[in-house]
Structure 1
Amino acid sequence: MNTTKHILIAGCGDLGLRAAHLLLQQGHVVYGLRRNPPKPPIPAQTTVPQIKWIPADLCQPDSMQALPEKISDIVYCPTPSQRTENAYRAIFIQGLDNLLDKLNTTWLRRIVFISSSAVYGEHHGNWVDENTPLLPLGMNGRVLQEAEQQLHALPYKSIILRLSGLYGPEKLQLLARIRAGQTRVPRHETHFANRIHIEDAAAAIVHCLHLHQPAPCYLVSDNTPLPIDELYDWLANAMQVPCPPEGAPPAGIGNKRLINTLLLESGFRLRWPDTKQGYTALLNDQSV
Structure 2
Amino acid sequence: MNKTLLSIGHGYSAQAVARRLLPQGWRIIGTTRSADKTHEIAASGVEPLIWPGTDLEPLLDQIPNVLVSAGPGAEGDPVLNACETTMTRMAPGLRWVGYLSTTGVYGNHDGGWVDENTALTPATRRGAARMQAESRWRAIPELPLHIFRLAGIYGPGRGPFTKVKEGTARRIIKKDQVFSRIHVDDIAQALTLSLHHPTPGGIYNLCDDDPAPPQDVIAYAAALLGVPAPPEINIEDADMSPMARSFYAESKKVRNDRIKKALGWMPLYPSYRSGLAAILEGYG
Q: Percent identity?
A: 24
Structure 1 residue aligned with 2:146: 159
Cα pair distance change 1:72/1:255, threshold 3 Å: same
For 1:241, give the aligned amino acid: P
C-alpha distance after superposition, 1:10-32 (max 9, x if no partner)? 00112111212322222333211
Counterpart-to-counterpart distance in 2, 1:39 and 1:67: 23
Please say if residues 179 and 253 of structure 2, whose CA atoms lie closer than 8 Å, have aligned partners that are also in contact: yes
1:165 maps to amino acid: G
Are residue 259 (structure 1) and residue 255 (structure 2) matched?
A: yes
Alignment-derived partner of residue 272 in structure 1 = 269
Counterpart in the other structure of 2:204: 218
> 1:77–1:114: 8 Å Cα contact kept in structure 2?
yes
Change (3 A) 1:23 1:112: same
Number of aligned residue pairs: give it.
266
Give the Cα separation in 2 of the matches to 1:129 and 1:65.
34
Shift of 1:107: 2.9
- Aligned pairs (5 A) from 1:88-237: 88-90=73-75, 93-101=77-85, 105=90, 107-155=93-141, 156-172=143-159, 174-179=160-165, 180-186=167-173, 189-214=175-200, 216-237=202-223
Structure 2 alignment gaps of length 5 or more: 237-244
Residue 235 of structure 2: SS of its match in structure 1?
A: coil
CA displacement at 1:216 relative to structure 2: 2.4
What SS class does the counterpart of residue 187 from structure 2 fall into? helix
- Give CA deviations for 1:102-146 in whole Å, capped at 9, x if unaligned: 577263233210001111111111111011111111110000000
Q: Secondary structure at the match of 1:50?
A: coil
Gaps of 5+ in 1: 80-86
Return the alpha-carbon distance in structure 1 between the equivalents of residues 128 and 260 of structure 2.
27
Q: For the residues of structure 1 that align with 2:127 and 2:65, how far apart are their CA atoms?
A: 25
Shift of 1:213: 3.0
Task: Please give the alpha-carbon distance, in whole angstroms, between the structure 2 residues aligned to 1:51 and 1:158.
Answer: 23
Q: Which residue of 2 aligns with 1:84?
A: none
Bigger drift between 233-242 and 244-253 goes to 244-253
Q: CA deviation at 1:205?
A: 1.5
Could you tell me which residue of structure 2 aligns to residue 52 of structure 1?
Answer: 47
Task: Say what the alpha-carbon RMSD is for the aligned residues.
Answer: 2.7
CA separation in 1, counterparts of 2:6 and 2:83?
Answer: 11
Query: Separation in 2 of the partners of 1:285 and 1:132?
Result: 37
Change in 2 beyond 3 A, CA 1:186/1:144: same
Cα 1:95–1:160 change in 2 (3 A) is same
Match for residue 64 of structure 1 among 33, 41, 55: 55
Task: Tell me the equivalent position of 2:3.
Answer: 5
| Alignment-derived partner of residue 77 in structure 1 | 69
Question: Counterpart amino acid of 2:66?
Answer: I
How has the CA–CA distance of structure 1 residues 273 and 215 changed in structure 2, closer, same or farther, with 3 Å as cutoff? farther
Q: Distance in 2 between matches of 1:148 and 1:178?
A: 36
Deviations 1:202-236 (A, max 9, x none): 12122222224355210000111112232222222
State the 1:56 CA deviation: 1.7
Normalised by the length of structure 2, the TM-score is 0.83
The 10-residue stretch of structure 1 (3-12 or 98-107) with the greater mean CA deviation from structure 2: 98-107
Q: Secondary structure of 1:243's match? A: coil
CA drift of 1:9 comes to 0.5
Distance 1:286 1:21, change over 3 A: closer
**What TM-score results when the alignment is normalised by the length of structure 1?**
0.82
What SS class does the counterpart of residue 145 from structure 2 fall into?
strand
